Every structure is written in C-alpha cells, then in structure tokens.
Structure 1
Amino acid sequence: MLKLTKITIQLAEKHLFNDFNALVNPGEVLSIMGPSGCGKSTLLDYLSGSLSPAFQASGSLKLDDQELSHLPIERRSVGILYQESLLFPHLTNLENLLFAIPEGIKSKQRSQLALERLSEFNLVDKAYDLPSSLSGGQKARISLLRTLLSEPKYLLLDEPFGKLDKTLRDGVRSFVLEQIQRAQLPTILVTHDQEDTKEMGGTCIQLTSS
C-alpha cells in the first residue's frame, strides 16, 4: 500500500500542491489527470526521490509502514516508465534487461530469468537484436519488462502511452495493467488523456493549472 499524506510542494512562492492526500492499494492504479504545467510530473519526481532542490516539499510518503520521503531514489525500490522507452541503443534487448536485474542474482540465473520473461512477452526472438529493431509496441513491452525485472515495490507511469497510436495504445495499456495486477504493484499514472484513466481503472484525481 502506498500512502501520500499532506504532500506540499512549492517553487518559491508558487504552491503546486498543498496537503495532497492519496492511498493506492496493491495492484491498483491511481490516475492523476490534468493539463501540461499543472504539476503532474513534479509530483512524480517527488514520489520517486528525484525532485529538484529548487522545490520545497514536505509531507509523508509511506510504502506499507516504511517512510520513503527522506530516502534517495536508489533506495526507494521504485519503478518508473516514461513516454520515451529510454532503452540503451548500443545494447541488445537482452543486455538492456540484464542491466536492470538486481546484482544479488547470479549471472547464469540473470540470463535465464530475462529470457524466460522475454518468452512470456513473446519477444524472445528479439533478445539479441538492438532496440532499433523493435516496433513502438515492442519497445513499450521491453521497457516495462526492464522495469519489472528491477523488482520495484511501487510503480510510477509518466504518460507512457503518449506517443503510441490509438490501436497500439489500447493494447499496450491493457498489457501494462495486466502486469501491474499480476505483480500487485501500487501504481500512480499521470496523464492528460481521459481514455487512460478510464481503461486503467481505479481512482482518478483531476488537477487544474495553477
């Protein structure tokens, strides 16, 4: 369970959020919707631990009983998906996945795990290709798989479907939701598309421009 309590974020004298509260259960998606510039991505930066020091922030962010607000991004066990796939172009798709798997897993097991998950995603034939060989939908799946292999405890989605055409968008969106529910990850999605909030289910919070 991810719990946000009295989150306040401001830049100089401008308040983006004031006493913002939300609760996200395992396998549930909280959608935060609003126009560009309303603070959606800034909130995700705060939740991930990557908020610029130019902002002032306060409040509580808890995952189950653990307070996260004081922890750096590398200690939060957070997975993040962006609009861009951010795959390393010089690495094969398999190498991109291996990069995300925790170091505690032995080398042979890492490769086996990555190949098994690629097979589940129907992408094992792309293992030794470069990301440039992938379609938009395949890149979205590889990006999601890389995030899941890092073993996150909660997930942040920063308009990850924004650059996909409608047909592809519907399929990838359903696939992402299926994986979220399968892994039972509390998830926060920011978007300006009402179809995203409708299809991903859960609660939707509407923000306005400040």
Structure 2
Amino acid sequence: MASLILDDIVIHQGQQRLLSLDTAVAPGEVLTVMGPSGVGKSTLLAFIAGFLSPAFQAQGRVLLEETRIDTLPAEQRHVGLLFQDPLLFPHLDVAGNLAFGMVREGTRRQRRARIHDALSSVGLEAFAGRDPATLSGGQKARVALLRVLLSQPRAILLDEPFSKLDAARRDEIRHWVFARVRDHRLPTLMVTHDEADARAAGGRILRLTERGTVMGLTDQEEGA
C-alpha cells in the first residue's frame, strides 16, 4: 500500500500565498486539515486530485509512494473524492451510479456481482434499482463512498463530507467511513471545520493559520 506524500507544496492565488505544506499520510491514516475559510484547504484537495483552477498556482510534488502524480491527468491519478454533497447521478439508479466509476475489469456479470457485494456490505442489497432521490442522507453517503471505493483508488480525499448530514446520523456515518478507509488501507486527507470530525478520524490534525502556514500538527489516539 502507498503513502500519500505532499512534498513542499506551496499554493498561490496571484501574488498571495495561500498555504504551504510538507507531510506524508500513511496507508489507512486519516490526516485532518483544519483552518479558517479562504486559506486554501479545498484548493489543496483540488491540486492533489488534478482539478486545480487556473486562478491558482501550485508548486511542489504529490506522490503515491514513489510515483509522482501531480504531473498526470486527473483520471490517471487514482485518487478518490468525497464531497459535502453525494453528487449521485439523478438519471442512473443506485447500481448505475456504482458502475459508473468502476474499473472495467472482468465480465459484466462479475461487475454486477461486485456491486451486489458492495451494497450487501452496508445493508443496501435491495437498493440496486432505487432512484437516488428516494434515498435518505445516510444512504446517499454510503452509496457515494461505495462508488469511490469501487473505482479502486490509491488515496482518498474528503472535503467536508459529513456537513450536510443530520446530527442524528452524522456520528454513525463518520465512523463507518473511517472504518472503510482503514479496512482498505487508503491514505486519506480530510478537510473540515468540525472538531468532532477530527476527533472521530483519530489521526493527526493539521491546523492552518489565516496565512496558510502550519500552526500545529497534533497527534491523537484513534477514536479519542
């Protein structure tokens, strides 16, 4: 399994430096990045994933173990993204959404079996033909993460992934997502404003100042 290495990353918007960062995320680790709005947290995720807006400029290297990925097209980086909104395709049923991002390996029957097994693993085996609009917020979050995992990513990026969930389900979905990340041994970088997200992740917490510099890197016990 590969570590996600952020090697001397510096991001600017025009003449303004937004953030600078040099760290590595181990397989199965969740590194949480926190800080005020506007310091470039989501911009950092966009750079790693290959979707950086032309309004920003980035220096440094992003590697998955020994493979440099910041020079590759987004579709070749094998980085999964999970956002505030599940972003499920409304014209596809649940199974169609899961199939959309899958690596086209094996036969169609084998891919259907993988989808069935994935849904069964989260108690949604009867939902393959459901319209995504009929799902609850927690069900949508599960389907969105399954879609990411079925694409066989080598790292995961989480951008405020739990902020749209109601309070009653948020803690349950948090722990479910982090358990899957650890099970798959995926290095994970999470951006959030929520201290409860950071505590649930159980990993290091990197705090940025208003100028985007690292104010502190805190270790915590898993699940604390």
TM-score, length-scaled by structure 2:
0.91
Aligned residue identity for 2:161:
P
1:35-79 CA-to-partner distances (Å, cap 9, x unmatched) read 221211000001111101221111011101101111111010010
Asked if 1:8 is matched to 2:10, the reply is: yes
Q: What is the distance in 1 between the residues matched to 2:63 and 2:87?
A: 28
SS at match of 1:58: strand
Give the whole-Å Cα distance in 2 for the aligned partners of 1:115 and 1:102.
16
Task: Give the stretch that moved more between structures: 29-38 or 170-179.
Answer: 29-38
CA contact (8 A) 2:105 2:111 kept: no
Alignment match, 1:137: 138
In the TM superposition, 1:1-210 aligns within 5 A as 1-18=3-20, 20-210=21-211
Which of structure 1's runs of 4+ aligned residues deviate more than 4 A?
A: none
Tell me the alpha carbon deviations over residues 161-181 of structure 1, each in whole angstroms, 9 at most, x when there is no partner. Answer: 001122211000000001000
Paired residue type of 2:17:
H
Contact 1:24 1:186 in 2 (8 A): yes
> Does the CA contact (< 8 Å) of 1:50 and 1:72 recur in 2?
no
Unaligned segments of structure 2, at least 5 residues: 212-224
Distance 1:61 1:194 in 2: 27
Distance in 2 (alpha carbons) for counterparts of 1:166 and 1:198 = 16
C-alpha distance in 2, partners of 1:32/1:207? Answer: 7
Name the amino acid aligned to 2:144: S
What's the C-alpha RMSD, in Å, of the aligned pairs? Answer: 0.9
Deviation at 1:9, TM superposition (A): 0.7
C-alpha distance in 2, partners of 1:38/1:106?
46
Distance 1:98 1:62 in 2: 28
Q: Which has the higher contact order (CA 8 A, sep 6+)?
A: 1
**Which whole-Å CA distance do the structure 2 matches of 1:105 and 1:131 have between them?**
26
CA distance in 1, matches of 2:106, 2:197: 35
Letter matched to residue 200 of structure 2: E
Q: Which amino acid aligns with 1:82?
A: F
Q: SS at 2:114's partner residue? A: helix
State how far apart, in whole Å, the 1-side matches of 2:72 and 2:19 are.
20
Cα deviation for residue 105 of structure 1 reads 2.9
Equivalent position amino acid for 1:4 in 2: L
Q: 1:208 Cα deviation (Å)?
A: 2.4
Q: CA deviation at 1:117?
A: 0.8
Q: CA deviation at 1:157?
A: 0.2
One-letter amino acid of the structure 2 residue matched with residue 172 of structure 1: I
| Amino acid across the alignment from 2:174 | R
Which amino acid in structure 1 is aligned with residue 29 of structure 2?
A: E
Q: Does the 8 Å contact 1:91/1:130 carry over to 2?
A: yes
Shift in Å, 1:154: 0.1
Q: What's the CA shift string for 1:128-156, capped at 9, x where partnerless?
A: 11001110000000000000000000000
The code of the aligned residue for 1:84 comes to D
**Aligned partners of 2:79 and 2:157 also within 8 Å:** yes
